[in-house]
Structure formats: C-alpha cells, structure tokens
Amino acid sequence: MDGIGKSLLAAGHETNYHEAGEGEALFLLHGSGPGVSGWTNWSTTMAAFSDNWRVIVPDIAGFGFTEFHEGTKYDIKLWVGHLVGIMDALGIKKASFVGNSFGGAVAIGLAVFAPERVSKLVLLGTPAGEFVQTPGLRGAWEYEPSLENMRQLMELFPFDKALITPALVQARYEASARPGSQNALRKLIPQPAAEGETLVKGFPAAALAKISAPTLVVHGREDRVVPPQCGFLIANSVPNADLHMFGRCGHWVQNEQPRRFIALVRDFLSE
C-alpha cells in the first residue's frame, strides 16, 4: 500500500517513515487532516532534495501509519519527544526541518525545546498565535469518511481545484477510512464550538522569539486553512527569519507552486 515504508520505534510508537538520499539530514514533516501521512504530503517532493540531502519523511505519532495509543495525551510535548526519538533511532544529532502546517508547529516545538537538534527551519502554512478556526480546520474535524466528503474537504485546501485528482481523493479517502483514524484525528485538533467562533492557538510570539535557527516562512496568500496572518506573525517574531508569500496559492504550497518552492528551499538550505 502507498504510504507504508520503513519502521522504527520512537517514544513508544511503532513509527512509519520513508528515507532517500545521503548527506545532511532533512526532515519533511506532514500536516494534519483526514487521511494525511508523510507520503501523501511529500511523495512528489522527496526526490527534489535527495540528491544533496538525507531526506526523512516520518508519520508523526497518531497520524498516517504510525501507531495511535488510546489514552495517550497527544500534545506538543509528545510530538517533540517522538521527533527526537526518531532522530536518535536514526543516529541523527542535528537536522533541518521543512514543516507543513501542523508539521511546522512540531518543528517550532523542537526548535524551542531542543534547539541543539535544529540546523534550519522551513515553515509552510504553519499556525501560530491565536486565530479563529477556519473552514478547512472545521471541515477536518467534522469529516465522515466517504469519497464525496473527502473531495469536498480537499477543495478548501488549494487555490486551483484542478490539483484535486481522483487518485489523490481516493488515496486520502482510503487512509482516512482506516478503523479509528478519524476518531484519533478528532483528539488531536480542536472540536468546533456548537455556536459562535472556535479559537485555535499556536505558539505565541514570545515563544517564537526564542528560536535561534535560521528560518524561512512560506505561506499561500489565499490559504483558507491557516490564515496568512500566522505567517506574518512567525516572520515578525523569529529573530532570523525571511518570509515568502505566494500569490494565487492556498494551503498546499509544495504542490501548488512546486518548482518555485523547491528552488526557494534548496537555495535557503544551501546557504
């Protein structure tokens, strides 16, 4: 099945991951949402970096094909510990991280709590500060597995809906329909309020100011999942940060603007 790669044990979780290339370690971290995994987020991008870097694409604890433990409190402390556990299992002392959305938040956590493990950060559509829950995040929580529901949800993510192919919908649906998958997801993202607005909280500016790693912030101007204000907050708060805002682009920067995204990130990582 697409998405199943190698396996290792980290933070008590049997962890699924993919690996390619040699050189300095580069982690590509996936976002959240029904049917998400490292493979669905990064399978078309891995090869663009594996010529110069040792690329590692894990399924973060509770997502994809990595174990989910009932009764375990899934929070930033556990996810950072899981990431450190993966690095230790692979013999990696320090790495660069490209984090998509939720994966960017996990990368921020690592940079704040274990800065010695981080070389550089690239943060795509990453939540930060406090903002009103968007239609994309609300839809992810409310989703019930079906092909039609998956297509409707995915239409909230890119600017150009032509990117949503039947094959992509099918792959995400199949992963989302695994027993317990959606229930697990609902424990990991805020439940929408029955009435009124739901607030989503990410790392505040004071925490972001502690990041010492060089950071590239990338955001889509038309992002309807994580609002662009989050990208501005990160770029204004991290001491050594640059911001690139892609126009006519939603939440899937790496898939919506692949050539420009890859060139931008390769240049940043090679400096």
Phi-psi region of 65 (alpha: psi -120 to 50; beta: other; left: phi over 0): alpha
Strands 24-29 and 118-124: unpaired
CB 139 within 8 A of CB 157: no
Separation between Cα atoms, residue 76 and residue 167, nearest integer Å: 32
**Cross-strand bridge partners of residue 19:** 56
Strand pairing class (53-58; 95-100) = unpaired
Q: Quick check: 97 and 84 in contact, CB under 8 A? A: no
Active centre residues (catalytic):
101, 223, 251
Which whole-number Å values give the CA distances from 200 to 130, 138, 190, 227, in the listed order? 6, 10, 7, 11
Longest Cα–Cα distance of the chain, Å, equals: 51
Alpha-carbon distance 241 to 233, whole Å? 11
